[in-house]
């Protein structure tokens, strides 16, 4: 009898394929302060923290609002412990401050961008990344994402000024397979990955020492056989 392939095992949902999210430091969203009349809230960075679930570092910030809120935010390059950041429509345009995107000058780098107002920040959250404000007009702001895609935003969407920290992480060599193992385990990623062709026939449709089988698979195949190019309209290189 054959074994479950990787897609079946992942669907079963064992801890091998689940991210250990209970180890993650915090769910990072923009704080929702009741700011009216152009007021702003300041916050002091108490410490910079590592989150196992993210590449970018986080900052623990103590805000000076009425409730003395302590929250975690993403930090840009150049920020250190003891610095003060501002949140609000009248905050200065400098790295680390959180402002509505309508107030950001053209050509400014931003990150942790909201798609819809007050959704907490959904885009450009990877270490070393940033988007650029391309143009401002009445009722809309146009930005250029790291993928070079152009996106239009509601002017009320909140953003953070600067380039998110941690961009040099890829310059540090991983050195050992054990380090890579723990990196992948923190995210619920399977490591190491064995190619299907190198497996035994009992483990995968493509396994075993044989001449091979078609890479295509029917859309109506059972889960154990639905691997490779699923319901492919065509395979191979296109003819010129």
User: Is there a single domain that holds both residue 60 and residue 147?
Assistant: yes
Q: Tell me, yes or no, whether 11 and 28 share the same domain.
A: no
* pLDDT score recorded for residue 224: 82
The answer to the question of residue 165 being in a domain is yes
Same domain, 65 and 130: yes
Got the DSSP string for 121-182?
--B--STT--EEEEEEETTEEEEE-TTS-EEEE-TT-EEEES-BS-TTGGGS---SHHHHHH
Given a cut of 80, whether residue 10 has pLDDT beyond it is yes
**Quick one: pLDDT at residue 229?**
92
Query: Is residue 43 within a helix (H) or strand (E), and if so which, with residue range?
Result: strand 40-49
Q: How much is the pLDDT for 35? A: 63
Confidence class for position 132, pLDDT limits 50, 70, 90: very high
Task: Count other Cβ atoms within 10 Å, centred on residue 160.
Answer: 27
- Entry pTM: 0.81
Between 11 and 76, the more confident residue is: 76
Domain containing 210 equals: 6-18+188-230
CATH of the domain at 221: 4.10.950.10
Q: Is residue 181 part of a domain?
A: no
* Predicted local confidence at residue 1, as pLDDT: 59
Same domain, 160 and 134: yes
> DSSP 3-state helix, strand, coil percentages of the chain (rounded to 5)?
15, 25, 60
Write the pLDDT tens digit of every residue in 52-69. Answer: 888 999 999 999 988 889
Same domain, 125 and 79: yes
pLDDT in tens, 189-231: 889 999 988 988 888 888 888 767 888 999 999 888 888 899 9
User: Are 93 and 139 within one domain?
Assistant: yes
The per-residue pLDDT for 225 is 85
* Residue 71 scores a pLDDT above 90: yes
Note the pLDDT tens digit of each residue in 27-44: 899 988 876 667 789 999
Q: Is residue 119 part of a domain?
A: yes
- Among 18-27, 28-37, 135-144, 169-178, where is mean pLDDT lowest? 28-37
Q: Are residues 131 and 207 in the same domain?
A: no
């Amino acid at each position: 009898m054959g074994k479950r392939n990787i897609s079946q095992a992942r669907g079963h949902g064992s801890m091998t394929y689940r991210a250990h999210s209970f180890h993650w430091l915090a769910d990072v969203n923009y704080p929702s302060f009741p700011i009216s009349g152009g007021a702003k809230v300041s916050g002091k960075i108490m410490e910079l923290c590592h989150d196992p679930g993210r590449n970018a570092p986080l900052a623990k910030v103590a805000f000076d609002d009425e409730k003395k809120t302590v929250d975690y935010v993403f930090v840009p390059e150049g920020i250190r412990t003891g610095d003060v950041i501002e949140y609000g429509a009248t905050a200065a345009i400098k790295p680390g401050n959180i402002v509505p995107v309508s107030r950001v000058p053209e050509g400014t780098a931003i990150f942790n961008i909201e798609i819809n107002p007050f959704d907490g920040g959904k885009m450009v959250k990877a270490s070393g990344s940033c988007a650029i404000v391309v143009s401002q007009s009445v009722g809309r702001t146009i930005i250029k994402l790291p993928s070079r895609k152009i996106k239009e935003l509601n002017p009320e969407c909140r953003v953070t000024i600067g380039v998110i920290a941690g961009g040099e992480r890829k310059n540090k060599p991983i050195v050992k397979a054990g380090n890579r193992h723990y990196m992948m385990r923190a995210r619920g990623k399977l490591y190491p990955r064995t190619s299907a062709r190198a497996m035994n026939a009992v483990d995968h449709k493509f396994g075993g020492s044989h001449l091979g089988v078609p890479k295509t698979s029917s859309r109506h195949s059972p889960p154990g056989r639905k691997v490779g190019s699923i319901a492919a309209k065509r395979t191979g290189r296109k003819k010129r």
